[in-house]
Structure formats: C-alpha cells, structure tokens
Structure 1
Amino acid sequence: MTIPQLAQCKVITALDACKSVDYYLFAKPELMSQLVFEISVEGKTYYLPQVEFIRAVFAVNKIMTNTMLQPNWIELLVTKSNLNGQRAFLEMSDEVQNNIVKDENFIRYFAWLYLSPNIKASFESIYTLLAQKILNNDYLKIEVHLPAVLNAFIRFRGIKKDNKYLILQWLGSDMEGTTFTDIEVKHKAFKKGIAAPGQRKYRKSIKEDDGEKVLNEDNEKRSKQDANQQVVDTPSTQLQFDNLADVHKVYGSEQEVNQGDIYFSNQGQGGGVQKQEQVVDLDESIYGGTIQPIDFKTLEVTNDIKGQGLEKFLKMIQLLAMDANKYKVAMNFVYLPLGRKFSFVANQMRRVSCVVYIQNKAIYKEFYVFEVATPDGKTLSTLIVDFTNKTNKELHISKIIKDIVLNSGSWKTKELSKFSFKRLKHRGDKQ
C-alpha cells in the first residue's frame, strides 16, 4: 500500500485492533496493552503495531538496537559528519564494529537515518517515550513517533477481514529518499595497504598439549580483542532507494603488507624445537569471554521492493483467496538463502520467493505453491506440492527452498519425489 501521509494516524491498543480482524491475543495483558497505529487509506483501515515498525525500520542490527534504547547514543556513533550537495561524509567512531562499518548497505542506511531530520527524529523518539514509561514501571510498551513522510510505500504480510488489515510483518518500504549520490566514510578499520620490502612467511604448526605453561609478562605480546564478531544473516527487511549512493572509503592510516609466498609446515611448537615451557596468556582473544558475541543483520538496501516481477502471480492468488467458501489461503515472501549466484538478481539484490498455502475445503487437501521471482529472465516453473497429511512441513519447505539455490535455479526432483507435485511452465504473459 501507499500511505499519503505516514504520520497522520491514530494510536489504539492492540486489543482494539485485533478484535477488528478476529485475531486472538490469549488474554495476556502485556499483549493487549501494546500500542498500534491505525491508518486509513482510500476506505481501508490498516493496523500497524508500533513494535513492528521499530523492528523493521530501526532494529536492523545489534548496535542500532542498543543505540535506540540509550539517550543520544546515535551521536556517539559519529565523530564528524557533513553534507555538501550530493556528497555526504561520515566519520564513524570506534563504537561501530569493523565488520558492521564495512557493510555498504549499513552505511547507506545509516547516512539516510542520520542525515534526514524526519527519520532521525522518529528514531530518537523511541528513547524519549521509553524514558517516560520507565518512570511508571511500564517497560513493555515501546513506542515511536512515525516520521512525517509523504507517499510512503510499504509491502507487508498480514491478516485481512473485509476492509481491515492487521500488519503482522513489515517486509519492505520506500519512504523518504536521499539527496546525496555519494557517501564518504572514515573508520579505523579502513587502512591503506602499503607494499613493504621483504617476504611474508606463513607458518603452520601442529602443537602438542604438553609441557609447563608460563604466563607471558609482556603485555604488548598478549592476545588482542577480536573486534570482528560473527554476524548472523536473518530474514531481511528491504529498504528502497531509487538511486543507491556510492560508498567511498576514506583511509585514516596505513598498514605495511609484506609480499611473498614462502610457506613452512613443521611438527612441534615452532621452529622444529620441542620446548618444555610454553609462554601463554590469561587474556581471552575474543571479546566477552569464551563464547563469541553474535551480531545479527536484518537490513537489505535495494532499488526495487515492489515484487520483482511477481505482480501477476500475486493477483492470481488474491483472486483465489476471494473464494473464501472453497479455499483457505495464506501467503508469505521468503528471500532465497545465500550460497550461490542464483540467490541474487541484478545489482546484488536478494532474489525473493513467494510461498503460498492453499487448503481446498471441498476435498480436504493441502497444497503449497512455490513461485520464485525471475526478473532477470531465468527460466523456472511454478511448483505445486501436495502436503496433505504430511508432518514437519516447515522443514520440508525450508529444504525445497535451499535445494533450489544449491541446484543453481532448478527444482531438485530427488527431494520432490517424496511428494505428489506438479510443475507449471510459464508461457510469457499467458501464465
């Protein structure tokens, strides 16, 4: 849907919103008292949970989630910034981890948030409103002021009843655009490699765990903190920019890199000499103890969120869902997992798949329909699988979607032979 004025809405409780679409909240007070935006567009009413807007638009990774819950912390992430015409400059502070700042999508997103007064004010309103709630011991009501954005387009998954829609998942949005075409970003992680004389030697040693261990007294030679945390790629929320800004790294320091390919592999504890004592550290090389911290990433920046060519397929499913007496229909979008070139379309945009559940009430059959977006001209048929009386459906669905990536864009017949299935070929516009 397209919302003419995003900030023009009413705030109601989740109980009132869910009653309108017969969605049950299990009589839990912490659920019923959550706050929901009620937005009216062209005679239709949409219910947007505030916490879902916050999750999709602002909680894109761990550092942004922590930042929104602290007073004025967003300013601690930036050492210096300016906007000169179509060129933006950001000097990120050491608070931003190396692996996060190297993600160009995050830089585009952060520049959009930080340099847009409307979006930044909405982000900062989360803590302002939360601080007021904490005084009343009302911690679970996380609120936000919607940004004053015109003609915001959003794609969502939800529940429909008559002309009322409950938004369950915010999938993507095209809100306020950016005025800059280039972003210069500076951070300690960006070091210019300078070729140095001498050959670089690689040594691989197989150490045996024996002998006495002695603490290394030289602090400079002790283990260092690993700032590159493991990042988990979770289901993404897409953010559309019509013109993706180019990201340019600004190097703040230089790093000598020796050239060479000499390789040593020796048995023992280094140099082929068996030592009775090993000099060791008590420090942990990984920040946070023996368990490495895990970051998460839910953000995907793209220049198109409007279906990737699935519009006709969606219209067909919507027509099918209108016959509510015969069919029960549910639909969801899934981004293909990483692992092969087929996971992406042009401009490194994640390929999307539509998974549709159809229950034929007349014959008591359950089917799943898989349609993969192919805006790049790839040839792939629509898959229909009979899941009637099958168990572990989610596991099988996940396996089918993963196999199409590993099979480089074709349905894996060996896996599908466990079910009754059909493949429907596309015939141009006559699908």
Structure 2
Amino acid sequence: MKQTSRFKNLPDNARIQGIGNVFKYHDRKTWSIGVQFNNSHRKSLKFSQLPYLSRQVVLNQTSTATPPGFSVEITLPERDLWERGTVEECGLVKFRHSNEQSQNCFVFRSEGKTIYLPQLELARALFFTNNYLANAALIHNALDFEFDVDYDPELVGDFQPDVMINALPTSLCPKILFDNDEFRHQIAWILLDDDVKHSFQSIYAYLLDESVITEKYQQWKFRFDPPQLEGVSIAARGWQSPDEKTWFINRIEAIDGLYFPDITDIGYAHPNFIENKRGSGKGKGGTYPQLPTQREIDEDSDGSEDNESALIFCDATQRTYNRVPHTRKVYTKARNGSGGKKDEEKPSTLPPEVSTDDPSSRGDKPRAAIDGLDDQTDNDALSHNKFDGFFKMLELLEKEHGVKQNKHIVRKLPAVGRSESHLMVDGSPRCMAIVRIEYQSEGYFLLEVDTSDGKASIATKVISARALAPKGLLRDFIAEIERGLLSKQFCWPKKYFDALVGEGNHKSVPHQKSKGKGGLSEVDVHRWAERVLNVF
C-alpha cells in the first residue's frame, strides 16, 4: 500500500506497531488515540486520523511494499457466537506495550480457525472511512442532530426519492463528501438500518460508561456492539499461529456482502448545495478548493473555520453491499450567470498543511476531508453490457489467438476536483474494467473505461505485468492511476506510467468510437482486437 498524504511530524516509513487507548486532555476539545511506531518517539495521533490507522500500516511511505503478515479470507458467523477477548489473550502480537496488549477484540470461530479481530479495526473498516464519521462517533447522538430523514418526501423535478436525507444547518459534515456516491451509500446505510445505527451509536455509549477520568485526561479502551454481519466475508492480513488455527487481524482490506435496506431512490440535500446553471462552465455541486495528490497532515492542529473542506486520500478498505440505491443530490439554491461568484471569504487555494479535525475558532489549518472509501458494489451501473464491446474483443482474442484472460474487475471511478468525468451523462457512476491476460507466456493488464454514453473516448491501456512486478501489485497503484486519468482531462497519465513501468512497457490502443451511444459493430471489434494483438 502507498499512502497519498503525508503526516507532517512523522519520519519516512513509520510503521504502526501498536494502537492503544482513546484519550482526551481536559483542556482539549478533540480526542486522540495512542499509536506506537517503529521509528518515532511520537505516542499518539488524533482520533480523526483513524482512516489511516491499522496495525503494520506504514505512514509516509517512500516506496510501495507488501505489508508483513499473511492474507486470510473469513466468513463472519452469527453475531451471538462472537466473544470478547484481548490482544494479549491471542498471544500472536509481539509488541508488548501494555496499552496495546489490553485492547478489546472480537473472538469467533470461522472455517476451523479462531479469529481475533480488534474491535477498533472492525469499526474503522465499517464506519471510520473519513474523519467526519470518526469524530461524530465520539459525540452523543451526533447524526440525529446533524441529519433529518424524510420517509415521505415530495417530488423533486423528475426525481421521486423514496427517502430524502437532509443535512441540517448545524451539520459539520463536509458537503464535498456528498459528491461521492460511495459516501452517500455509507451514510444512508448507517442512518436507514436501525441495527447499523445502533452499532454506530454504541461507540459513544461505551465511551460514556467505561472511560476513566484522571487529573489530566479522560481515557478509554475502544469498544462497540457490531451490527449483524452473518455471512459477510472479509479479506484481511494478519499474524497466524504455526498450525494456522489461530489468527490475529492487523488490517481488513475488503468487506463483501454488507446488507443494504431495500430502498431504490435516495435524495440528499445540504443547506450549502449550490447548482451552477447551464452555461456556467462548471459542474454541479458548487466550487471547492481541491487539494493536489499529496498534502501534509498536521497531526496536532485543529481545523480552521475559514475554508471549504477539500479531499485528501488514504488507502481504502474495499466494500460491497448486497444492493445499493440510485442516489442524487438535490439543490435548494442556484447560481446564475456565466461563471457565478465564488464565496469571496473562502480561499481558492490551500497551503500545503491541512487538519483532519472539525473546524473551531482556535483552528489554524485548513480543514480537509479524508476519502477512505472504495465501494465496489455490483449494481446496474456496473453491468456487463456497459463494456459489451470490450468483453467481445477479449472473447475474440481468446477464441482466435489463444489469449487467456483472468476474472475481470470493474471499479467505479472517483470524483476528482470539479471534473464530472467520473459520471455518465445520466449521472450514474462511470466505471473502469481491469483484466489480466496471458499471451505467449507474457502477462498484460488491460484497463478499459466505460464510454458507452458517447460523452468521451479514451484508448484501452495495456501494461506489461513483467515490468510492473518489481514495483508491486497493480491494486496498489489503481487509485493514483484513476486520479491521474480524471485530473488530466480524461487522458491516461503518460508520465506516471513512464515512471511506474518504463516508457516502452505501456501502450494506449485506440478503438473506433461507436456511431451512436452503446456498442461497436462486429467489424470495429475485430479491428480493435487486431490492434491489441499488435501491441503484444
């Protein structure tokens, strides 16, 4: 994994060895958490930085490396079969700091293995995908005070939502998060499923009941009630006993099969949503100062009240739901004119250092919003026919030229800056397909972007697997590739690929644009296959 933001006061390649208690000094508003590193005397970070924090994760990476430990896939059992244990009881964690060893774990049996899953790590993967939700979890009924759920909403233009989620004027939730349909899915999942919401609210309940107050600070061993996750599978890395019968989970890398309520359409409103009218030259959602690929996080600063939040990125845990709704932002304000006026009191650019904490009067660093979501739910926007021509081309290569293809992956492209290239014309997510193929003992990755709406055209990217192998796995670089693609006016980031695999080890293969929205003709597919074959 390679982090895309740096922590200002940490050295390069700071590996997390242990995670301890949650605590807050009496003269501070914000909560912190004990974190032990292999090469730093620093003992804590802010709780708002939890999206970055798992055991054995390396912060401020200078090169990509596979985290230590072993990979494991687990199917979670019925919640009533989970027990409570500690890190120490597992016996597999060699870092002996007392605060680390006493942390709470869930303990359960799965497929013949005894699993020790730190409670904080599960909460991170389920809830703490951004700093807003991490902070909100430690406030009494924060979501009830910040969101109103309308189960009988009115028609909005041509859109009839089943449910409307309204961010109230008191909400501290950055409006930029609502540009991401992955966040819209997550906040709806929490607000609309009573079991999930109870799980989220149990965090504060345990904090209130179990925290210990001393002369200088209040501290607490993290604990919460999990939602029902029976049948959900997780992919993780961790430590295993010599007989492979006992496992300790360091980091959850993917969660598959989360239950989403059977709701078809959800609208989202925010008091600060501003729609740019046609002719403005800008996309929906207002203007937000957008951070470059990497910023420095000031671990100790509070957020300033003087800027709109902008996105920074961290390694995300993948997640899939059994279903997701169609979601749409609903605008209550409109900005007229050719370009509109920006809020004059809001800076258009941000300095290199940012804060992950909520805004306050004492804050001196621009507030940033962490994007730690990678929602890979297979819904109608990810259906096979979106890439009909691409998969027909692969079938042709397989049948006529002996090319072997592995299982494909389809990803929704993220929002980057003000660009709306990550959306199809109808507002649904634009996706990218990734396939590894073998031809004459050589491996290649093919990347194909869905342009079936006719809005844009982009060549198929072919990458040498042999050239990439010394640098790491393709999944470690996909987030950077996607951001490069969307920040370069919908073009593949050539300089990035040159640095990653070498100038001669990646090629762009153009394919004829369909004459209408949708698929290519059979002749076009044959020509496309020939061009790909020539690259091999």
TM class by smaller structure: 0.5 to 0.7
Partner of 2:336: 257
Asked if 1:237 corresponds to 2:317, the answer is yes
| Alpha carbons of structure 1 residues 353 and 159: separation in structure 2 relative to 1, 3 Å | farther
| Alpha carbons of structure 1 residues 398 and 343: separation in structure 2 relative to 1, 3 Å | farther
Helix, strand or coil for the counterpart of 1:150? Answer: coil
User: How far is 1:73 from its partner?
Assistant: 1.1
Partner of 1:41: 110
Asked if 1:88 corresponds to 2:163, the answer is yes
After superposition, the CA RMSD in angstroms is: 4.9
1:255 partner letter: A
Query: CA contact under 8 A between 1:6 and 1:151: conserved in structure 2?
Result: no
Query: CA contact under 8 A between 2:193 and 2:260: conserved in structure 1?
Result: no
- Residue 291 (structure 1) aligned to one of 365, 372, 383: 365
Structure-1 separation of matches of 2:322 and 2:476: 32
Give the TM-score normalised by the residue count of structure 1: 0.60
| Alpha carbons of structure 1 residues 45 and 350: separation in structure 2 relative to 1, 3 Å | farther
Helix, strand or coil for the counterpart of 1:139? Answer: strand
User: How far is 1:239 from its partner?
Assistant: 2.4
Query: CA contact under 8 A between 2:121 and 2:251: conserved in structure 1?
Result: yes
User: How far is 1:295 from its partner?
Assistant: 2.2
Query: CA contact under 8 A between 1:225 and 1:287: conserved in structure 2?
Result: yes
Structure-2 separation of matches of 1:260 and 1:416: 41
Partner of 1:31: 100
- Residue 186 (structure 1) aligned to one of 269, 274, 277: 269
1:63 partner letter: Y
Helix, strand or coil for the counterpart of 2:191? Answer: helix
User: How far is 1:184 from its partner?
Assistant: 1.2
Asked if 1:167 corresponds to 2:249, the answer is yes
User: How far is 1:88 from its partner?
Assistant: 1.9
Which runs of 5 or more residues in structure 1 are unaligned? 197-223, 262-284, 306-334, 355-369, 388-392, 422-431
Tell me the number of residue pairs that the alignment of Structure 1 and Structure 2 aligns: 319
Partner of 2:183: 106
Partner of 1:131: 208
User: How far is 1:74 from its partner?
Assistant: 1.4
| Alpha carbons of structure 1 residues 295 and 116: separation in structure 2 relative to 1, 3 Å | same
Query: CA contact under 8 A between 1:226 and 1:287: conserved in structure 2?
Result: no
| Alpha carbons of structure 1 residues 383 and 343: separation in structure 2 relative to 1, 3 Å | farther
Helix, strand or coil for the counterpart of 2:205? Answer: helix
Helix, strand or coil for the counterpart of 1:119? Answer: helix
Deviation string for 1:147-167 (max 9, x for gaps)? 123311222222333122221
Structure-2 separation of matches of 1:73 and 1:61: 15
Query: CA contact under 8 A between 1:7 and 1:146: conserved in structure 2?
Result: no
2:247 partner letter: Y
**Pairwise mapping of residues 31-430 of structure 1 onto structure 2 (< 5 A)?**
31-82=100-151, 87-94=162-169, 95=171, 96-135=173-212, 139-161=219-241, 162-173=244-255, 174-192=257-275, 226-252=306-332, 254-259=333-338, 290-304=364-378, 347-348=429-430, 379-383=462-466, 408=492
Query: CA contact under 8 A between 1:241 and 1:303: conserved in structure 2?
Result: yes
Query: CA contact under 8 A between 2:467 and 2:501: conserved in structure 1?
Result: no
Structure-1 separation of matches of 2:201 and 2:360: 32
Helix, strand or coil for the counterpart of 2:263? Answer: coil
User: How far is 1:102 from its partner?
Assistant: 3.1
User: How far is 1:182 from its partner?
Assistant: 0.9
Give the TM-score normalised by the residue count of structure 2: 0.49
1:246 partner letter: H
1:179 partner letter: D
Deviation string for 1:367-390 (max 9, x for gaps)? xxx996869896544337897xxx
Query: CA contact under 8 A between 2:76 and 2:233: conserved in structure 1?
Result: yes
Helix, strand or coil for the counterpart of 2:207? Answer: helix
| Alpha carbons of structure 1 residues 106 and 385: separation in structure 2 relative to 1, 3 Å | closer
Partner of 1:330: none
Structure-1 separation of matches of 2:162 and 2:313: 30
| Alpha carbons of structure 1 residues 408 and 29: separation in structure 2 relative to 1, 3 Å | same
Structure with the higher fraction of residues in strand conformation: 1
